[in-house]
Amino acid sequence: MARTTVVPGSGPDDRSIFERFFGLGDAAQSAQEARQQQPRGQALAYAAPDGGTLSDLKSGILGGVSGAAGAAVGPAARYDRYTAVYDISSHTVYLPNGTKLEVRVKGPTVTPGYLNDPKKTAEAFDEEGYYSLGDAAKFLDPDKPEEGLVFDGRVTEDFKLSSGTWVSTGTLRADVVAATSPLVADAVVCGLDKPFIALLAWPNIAGARAIAGLPETATPDEIVAHPKVVAHLREHLAAHNKGGGGSSTRIARVILMTEPPSIDGHEMTDKGYVNQRATLERRAHLVARLYEETPPADVIVV
């Protein structure tokens, strides 16, 4: 059964985040006045009923004191990953998406769509006009939801293994870089509808050269194929795998790539981040090698 809870606000400032940054123009006055009839400075948290839609969830909350499945509103309870959050004052929805809360926004300061591009608008907005950022959020402290939410990666990059287990790519990439330091500079995470996680990784050539003990004249291909580099990667990823998390974090195979991310191939974003989706599409032949029944020589098995 769905569960509904009210999470108290953190202070007297009940303006939305948009109002705090940009102020409130004349066009938004009516929206503010309408919101004054609703509870202010609160976030309403509730669990999605099986098969429920975003409309079902919000209508249950906004329609009165009953939850989406008719449960009475009660005191604040511990957040879990099946709980959505609707922030009335900022018109922001944090909707469960796999193991994360996907951020969606709507209001007088949010664009209603792309100019003269209905296709892009339909892709970016849900049926109620909420803009899907593709970002995720999580409570800073699940036991103290009044302390607010923080960024939790991109839901558009996360995926499920064939077992149905969700993989959080942003978190896993950061963990892999830290676990294998100074060898791996960055990576893309593979495994959509596959039985295990694999990586396409870019090595830190200077770090790899030091691990291998090779001279400056050594080529990148010679460096990444060196036994000491392979052994370092296996050892540190094995330690990472033992750290817990099960199949959602366990790395089974890796290819160390010497071709850097391609800007022309859109493998790098304008902000200098690796574009996971574009990289996987452009290097699909390498992804296929990772999942061959008999791993090729360039695939490192952990």
Q: CATH no. for residue 96?
A: 2.30.38.10
Shared domain for 223 and 273, answered yes or no, is yes
User: Does residue 285 share a domain with residue 227?
Assistant: yes
Residues 164 and 150 in one domain: no
Contact (Cβ atoms closer than 8 angstroms) between residue 238 and residue 252: no
Same domain as 137, residue 196: no
- Phi, then psi, of 134 in degrees rounded to 5: 85, -5
Is 183 found in the same domain as 136?
no
Measured N-to-C along each axis, helices 227-242 and 205-212 cross at an angle, to the nearest 10 degrees, of 110
> Based on the domain organization, do 150 and 204 belong to the same domain?
no
- The domain boundary residue, chosen from 154, 178, 197: 154
Sheet containing 197-203: order of strands: 184-190, 197-203, 251-256, 300-301
One domain, residues 108 and 231: no
Question: Are residue 62 and residue 180 in the same domain, yes or no?
Answer: no
pLDDT score at 129: 84
Using the 3D structure, point to which of 154, 189, 204 is the last residue of a domain.
154
Distance CA 42, CA 44 (A): 6
Q: d(Cα 221, Cα 228) in Å, to the nearest integer?
A: 14
Please report the pLDDT score of residue 125 as a whole number. 86
**Same domain for 232 and 119:** no
Residue 6 corresponds to which amino acid? V
Q: Are residues 163 and 291 in the same domain?
A: yes
**pTM to 2 decimals?**
0.56
Structural domains in the chain (count)? 2
How far is Cα 251 from Cα 254, in angstroms, rounded to an integer?
A: 8
CA 269 to each of CA 151, 155, 265, 275: distance values in angstroms, whole numbers, following the listed order: 19, 16, 10, 6
- At 241, which CATH number? 3.30.300.30
Indicate the residue among 154, 179, 211 that finishes a domain: 154
> Domain limits at 186?
159-301
One domain for residues 141 and 221 = no
Residues with Cβ within 8 Å of residue 15, at least 6 apart in sequence: 24, 89
**pLDDT at position 105, please?**
82
Q: What is the mean pLDDT of each run of 10 residues along the chain (302 residues)?
A: 35 42 41 41 39 43 35 36 52 58 81 89 83 76 72 72 88 92 95 95 96 96 96 97 90 96 86 84 95 96 96
If asked whether residues 18 and 120 sit together in one domain, one would say yes
The rounded Cα 119 to chain-centroid distance in angstroms is 24
Give every CB contact of residue 101 below 8 A, 6+ residues apart in sequence: 81, 84, 85, 94, 95, 136, 137, 138, 149, 152
